[in-house]
Amino acid sequence: MKLLHELYLYRQMIFSLVKKDLRGRYKGSVLGFLWTFINPLMQLIVYTFVFTVILPADVDRYYLHLFVALIPWIFFSSSITGGASSVVAQKDLIKKIYFPREVIPISYVTSCFVNMLLCFIIIFLVMLFTGSVWNFTAILCLPVVWIVEYLLALGMAMLSSAITVYFRDLEHILGIISMVWMYMTPVLYSIDLIPERLQSLYRLNPMTSVITAYRDILYYGQVPNLLTLSEAVFLGVGFLILGVFVFSKLKKRFAEEL
């Protein structure tokens, strides 16, 4: 409770760090902010080429099937891999000034989140031009899924950023984990392809529920399964509580370890 109050007092700091990050990220490059869109688009093109020409997947409009999952996935994976080094990267601030340390992972994840929301503009444009199913009741559920994924990503980023301070290898290990995690999540393929006996195992992966929900809303145009959604909410909140707890234990010695 005290933490929430303090974070509220420091809301302007979160706001200006996000702004600085978004504005500063591509400063000096010719294409500037366009890079936000170019990177996921290139990934989309490569995967679509591989999975429609070389290893054809039996999915109608594969690019959309992939796109609605890939954008949220990129947000999630950059939150944990980039988020891991976020605290270390701000060591000058941490060693010199007091502010609630949670501000750092929060602003990092928030700036990734804003990036994702911008990419959703492209998703909507693609849907518009390809004549997809628009189910507005389903789209009303979208903010819920966004929030759940945000909480999940924040929880993971808090865990990884706090542990990285003490154990710098985690940054590199997370690169591998995030790749494995992507293949363990139905991003590139449909969840229906997963064998029955592995289904329950897949359920343990919180991102499975999140990705499934996105796909239900944007690809199939249907309101996501209530069970899937509540599972995702449950896991999202759970990870956040774990993240906050670990972070608050570890943050006291940040200034000494950095």
Give the binding site for other proteins (CB under 8 A).
9-13, 15-17, 20, 24, 27, 92-99, 167-169, 252-253, 255-256
Nearer to other proteins, 191 or 246 (CB): 246
Nearer to other proteins, 20 or 203 (CB): 20
Nearer to other proteins, 95 or 203 (CB): 95
Nearer to other proteins, 192 or 256 (CB): 256
Q: Which residues are within 8 A (CB) of 208 and not within 5 positions of it... i.e. 6 or more apart?
A: 185, 186, 191, 202
How does DSSP classify residue 1?
-
Nearer to other proteins, 30 or 97 (CB): 97
Minimum CB distance to other proteins, residue 194 (Å): 33
**Do the Cβ atoms of 101 and 243 come closer than 8 Å?**
no
Token pair 């359920």 is at which residue?
Answer: 203
Minimum CB distance to other proteins, residue 96 (Å): 3
Minimum CB distance to other proteins, residue 179 (Å): 19
Nearer to other proteins, 96 or 197 (CB): 96
User: How far apart are the C-alpha atoms of 258 and 252, rounded to whole Å?
Assistant: 12
DSSP string across 60-117: TTHHHHHHHHHHHHHHHHHHHHHHHHHHHHTHHHHHH--S-TTHHHHHHHHHHHHHHH
Minimum CB distance to other proteins, residue 182 (Å): 24
Minimum CB distance to other proteins, residue 120 (Å): 27
Minimum CB distance to other proteins, residue 105 (Å): 16
Helical H segments across the chain, by residue range: 2-9, 11-25, 35-49, 62-89, 91-96, 103-129, 136-140, 142-166, 170-183, 196-203, 206-218, 226-250, 254-257
Task: Produce one character per residue of 188-208: b if its CB has 16 or more CB atoms within 10 Å, e if not.
Answer: bbbeeeeeeeeeeebeeebbb
